[in-house]
Chain A
Amino acid sequence: MPSQTNPDDHLPLAVATFHILVAVADQDRHGYAIMQDVAARTNGALKLSPGTLYGSIRRMLDEGFIVELSDRQRPDEDDERRRYYRITAFGRAVAQAEAARLATLLRQAKAAGLVPGRA
């Protein structure tokens, strides 16, 4: 059973988990769509393999970050009856917490002069 306690307990997130959360943050997606979205956002640098993708999905379902959509909730145009995943409120909170953590980290890196561009 998912233990939806404090989002901070789950930080830091694994890279794949965070990417998947970002991919489903704006719309429900199936596995291949998640993979494509992640690849597009990283310019092909991160291509989630099936094992990593579904291993992560399974854990995220267990943790309650995402849910699987029932047949009725699936977009009508999909003829292949793929499984779609939707972010939960808790998953969103966790993703936000992770984003905040990363933002803080980035700020600190900038202050230390580690980030190029605006010094």
Chain B
Amino acid sequence: MARRTIGERVYRKLLRLYPRDFSEDYGDEMTRLYRDRVRGEGATSVWLALLADLARTAPSEQISTLVQDVRHAWRTWRRTPVLALAAMLTLALGVGANTAVFSVVYGVLLKPLPYPDADRLVEVFEDNSRAGGGPFFRVSLLNYLSWVERARSFEAVAVFNGRDFTLTEHGDPERIVGSAVTASLFKVLGIAPIVGRPLAREDEDPGAAPVAVLAESLWARAFGRDPAVVGRPIMLNGVRHQIIGVVPAAFREIGRTQIGSAGAGQLFVPLTMNMAEDRGNHTLRAVGRLRERVSLDQARDDMRRLAAIMEGEFPATNRNWSVWIERPQHSMFDPRVRGSLLLLLGAVGVVLLIACANVANLVLARATGRQRELAVRAALGARPARLARQLLTENVSLALVSGICGLAVAGVSMQVLRTLIPATIPRVDEIRLDGTVLVFGLFITTVCGVFFGMVPAIRGARANLLTALTQNGKGAVGPSHQRWRHGLVVAQTGLATTLVVMAALLLQSLVRLQHVPLGFEPGGVLTARVSTPQAKYPDAAAMLGFQRTLLGSLETLPSVRSVGSMTSAPFAPGVRRTATVHDRATTGRSADARASALQQIVSPGLFRSLGVRLLTGRDFSAQDQPGSPLVAIVSESLARSLWPNGDVVGRALELDGRSHEVVGMVGDTRGSDGTARGGGLDRDPQPVLYVSSAQVPQGTIALVIRTDAALHAILPAVRAAVREIEPTLPVPELRPLDEWIAESVAQPRLTTTLAAVFAGAALFLTMVGIFGVISYAVGQRTQEIGVRIALGARRASVIGLVLRSGLTWAGGGIAIGLLGAWSMNRAIGSLLFNVSATDPFTFAGTAFALTGVAALACALPAIRATRIDPVNALRGD
């Protein structure tokens, strides 16, 4: 052929846009055609036509090749329907489970918060680390006001505080959860009202007319989404408020106090700027919007500088206090939630890998059977690349069909997961099968298809006619083929082992968590929160009178054994105030006799109702009155830290600058620390200081009712009793204390359940995988085994032969898996309670169990091997 011109060379390059075999086949011809036409018609007009031709026919040739391959794939899969179906089901379940778990991880952890420029949102804390208090304290109102004036990093800062309201709108009074917020929260979140106006700075003034903003949910539920609601009055806690607007669901508390949307605030009132507040009262949550191009670190530096200046200005309240800033996506989660979710994502990914290994095994077995077909086609001129492409298309198209089924599986499992995930976990409502999740599902499907399609593709392309045709019609089983299969067994067994170890550790941890001593007896205890109507019982005496009447009346109900009240029931939501107390005798002299304790305001009889043991001294009683000397009861751990050796009863301790006489000591209880819901079961009991409700009035109490009756049996009586005393009071939402405790372990329980399910699936798939490989190997060794039997080998030795080969590979996998589990002990250790992440019994038990499973998987093929008829085997087929 003559030397090519530049135009020809360019055209030749462009021909690569066609499928490879097409351009290889016709490239020369098309180039010639190009040359002939250029000679006849001139380059310009030919090029225009050629480019148009390329743009039109190159994609269509690509598609037609693909369609051809897919059609071919469909035909070949139809020849082995059982195999195709088994592979599809395995993959569909794997992809489905992965997509579902990913949707949870994405919705909860990864998805940007639903606010404009959400990456600029931060949560702001007062940091008391230097005094040993940790970095996540609430913010004081006056410090907040100073920040608003002086901080440079923020476009806006807002503070808020949860608040309960009693709404008396239609019929029965209703308890509504809401917040008092600053007007700036609108600016921080970047949210405008659906109707009406946002809160204004003036609404925060102490003398301002009371106004309220409805959340969309309350607007829909109580007002039928009526836009004319703006301007209407509503009665909240007996006070008339004017509705000024309605906000969408995203307008809510974010960050550390954020929980699932079911518990989100439904009503917002302006936070009143009470300038008489103590700068040392840390009561508010704060969120801010960083200025553009201000990084988190810059903001931290800026605020720390400001805090240092303020320490100098307000030494009495601000000494040792700094500021800490965190992204809400981080601060809203217990780090264990993040750890658990990532662990589950890893675990379900492992299940998919094992599933892929099984499918790869199936496909490999099938490819071996087709070695002949491929070799013949290669001999007839099909190029290796073309054959490889076709095999890959076969497997990827199978994967894609499985993937689509998998998405359906994901849709269903996601619904199940959403109901299982504890409502306390933030953003649960943001879990959905959205674009990103779909892309993820398709991505892993494709990766799977390529993964298990690649091996046979590479091997198929190397199909060798001679070996294929001389191998007795069975297809070639070279040593490299066996290597692949054994490699898959080792990998599967290893992955399954790691997963089983983790699930077993989590399971033990959960069992121990559920049997941890609580320090009280939750069985038969019902709790509810009750807010005293302020408007009707404005002063301490009236409030106390109301609470006493209520408790007294409940106590007379037939099935009630005893009734008490406290600030917040263990493991249940409620106010939790941590106070600093010290021994009066050593005040000012020693820092040792200081302790920080959760303050509980309790009624006489509370300890009996809750089942807390009184260790020494006495319970509060009717003799403790507002005017009488202040008394306190300490928990055992508080007594131990204040007075390590010595009497407790009769000591004087100081709380809020006032002296209290210690009259008793009670046992420690779990679920009573200063964090939300009193901490988890895994938290050691924290010191608690109990004071008498008669001497320290509080508006909202937690009722603790010990009863022999079931919840539904006692509810009508409670309702009647409450209505008789105070018709404007919402009916208390009674809930068994057991339920709150169960809810506190809901998250570890879910993690453990899912990990166990995944481990079970991994185990099952591995068993199937080993079974497949060993069965296949026995089939391949029929002749050899036949010879052995013919030479007098006994049953046991044949079984031993098969078991040995299976268990050798599985054993290797188990060893690798144990190493894997051991290397991950740091990651899983933080999720475990009272179990070592390298617990030798768990490791040994898992190894034993996996060996058993592997032996079981080998048993059937081994027994089949003993039934081989030497005559048939030697004759061959």
Please give the residue numbers on chain A whose beta carbons come within 8 Å of chain B beta carbons, in ascending order.
30-32, 35, 47, 49-55, 57-59, 80, 82-83
Contacts and interface: CB of A to CB of B under 8 A. Distances in A.
Contacts of A58: 22, 25-26
A53 B54 CA distance: 12
A83 B34 CA distance: 15
Interface string B387-410: 000000000000000000000000
Contacts of B22: 54-55, 58
A107 B61 CA distance: 36
29 contacts: A30-B29, A31-B32, A31-B33, A32-B32, A32-B33, A32-B36, A49-B49, A49-B50, A49-B57, A50-B30, A50-B34, A50-B50, A51-B57, A51-B61, A52-B53, A54-B22, A55-B22, A55-B57, A55-B60, A55-B61, A55-B64, A57-B26, A58-B25, A58-B26, A59-B64, A80-B1, A80-B32, A82-B29, A83-B29
Given A31-B33, A32-B32, A82-B32, A54 B53 contact: no
Contacts of B33: 31-32, 35, 50, 53
A95 to B, nearest CB: 22
Contacts of A82: 29, 32
Interface string B42-71: 000000011011101110110010000000
B53 A49 contact: yes
Closest 4 A/B residue pairs (Cβ): A51-B57, A49-B53, A54-B26, A50-B30
A53 B56 CA distance: 12
Interface in B256-307: none
Contacts, number: 55
A55 B58 CA distance: 9
Contacts of A32: 32-33, 36-37
Interface in B596-621: none
Contacts of A30: 29
A80 B33 CA distance: 12
B29 A31 contact: yes
A31 B36 CA distance: 10
A46 to B, nearest CB: 13
A51 B56 contact: yes
Nearest to A35: B33
Contacts of B1: 80
A82 to B, nearest CB: 6
Contact of B54 (A35, A51, A54, A59): A51
A55 B318 CA distance: 82
Secondary structure type dominating chain B contacts: helix
A8 to B, nearest CB: 21
B429 to A, nearest CB: 53
B502 to A, nearest CB: 53
Interface string B537-575: 000000000000000000000000000000000000000
Contacts of B29: 30-31, 54, 82-83
A51 B53 contact: yes
A37 B275 CA distance: 98
Interface of B: 1, 18, 22, 25-26, 29-30, 32-34, 36-37, 49-50, 52-54, 56-58, 60-61, 64
Nearest to B40: A36
B25 A51 contact: no
B271 to A, nearest CB: 71
Nearest to B68: A62
Given A32-B32, A54-B26, A80-B32, A47 B49 contact: yes
Contacts of A49: 49-50, 52-53, 56-57
Contacts of A53: 33
A51 B36 CA distance: 15
Contacts of A31: 29-30, 32-33
A53 B25 CA distance: 13
A47 B64 CA distance: 22
A67 to B, nearest CB: 14
A31 B27 CA distance: 12
B25 to A, nearest CB: 7
Contact of A54 (B30, B37, B49, B56): B30
A51 B58 contact: yes
Contacts of B52: 49
B145 to A, nearest CB: 74
A55 B53 CA distance: 11
Contact of B53 (A50, A57, A83): A50
Nearest to A58: B22
A58 B49 CA distance: 21
A30 B61 CA distance: 21
A52 B36 contact: no
Nearest to A32: B36
A55 B57 CA distance: 8
Contacts of B25: 54, 58
B608 to A, nearest CB: 90
Nearest to B53: A49
A9 to B, nearest CB: 16
A53 B122 CA distance: 64
A80 B32 CA distance: 9
Contact of B57 (A47, A52, A57, A80): A52
A49 B33 CA distance: 9
Contacts of A54: 22, 25-26, 29-30
Which of B18, B52, B53, B60 has the most chain A CB atoms closer than 10 A to its own CB? B53
Nearest to B25: A58
Contacts of A51: 18, 30, 53-54, 56-58, 61
Contacts of A52: 53, 56-57
Given A35-B37, A50-B33, A51-B57, 10 more contacts: A32-B37, A35-B33, A49-B49, A50-B53, A54-B22, A55-B57, A55-B60, A57-B26, A59-B64, A80-B32
Contacts of A50: 30, 33-34, 50, 53
B494 to A, nearest CB: 44
Contacts of B49: 47, 49
B48 to A, nearest CB: 11
Nearest to A59: B64
A108 B29 CA distance: 41
B196 to A, nearest CB: 64
A58 B26 CA distance: 9
B45 to A, nearest CB: 10
A58 B22 CA distance: 8
B687 to A, nearest CB: 83
Contacts of A55: 22, 57, 60-61, 64
Contacts of B37: 32, 35
Contacts of A80: 1, 32
A111 to B, nearest CB: 37
A97 B185 CA distance: 79
A32 B26 CA distance: 12
Contacts of A57: 26
B79 to A, nearest CB: 16
Contacts of A59: 64
B468 to A, nearest CB: 19
Nearest to A62: B68
Most chain-A Cβ atoms within 10 A of its Cβ — which of B18, B34, B54, B61?
B61
Contacts of B36: 32
A52 to B, nearest CB: 6
A1 to B, nearest CB: 9
A53 B1 CA distance: 22
A40 to B, nearest CB: 12
Contacts of B32: 31-32, 80, 82
Nearest to B22: A58
A52 B30 CA distance: 11
B463 to A, nearest CB: 18
Contacts of B54: 51
A51 to B, nearest CB: 3
Contacts of A35: 33, 37
B42 to A, nearest CB: 14
Nearest to B58: A51
User: Most A CB atoms within 10 A — which of B26, B30, B56, B61?
Assistant: B26
Contacts of A83: 29
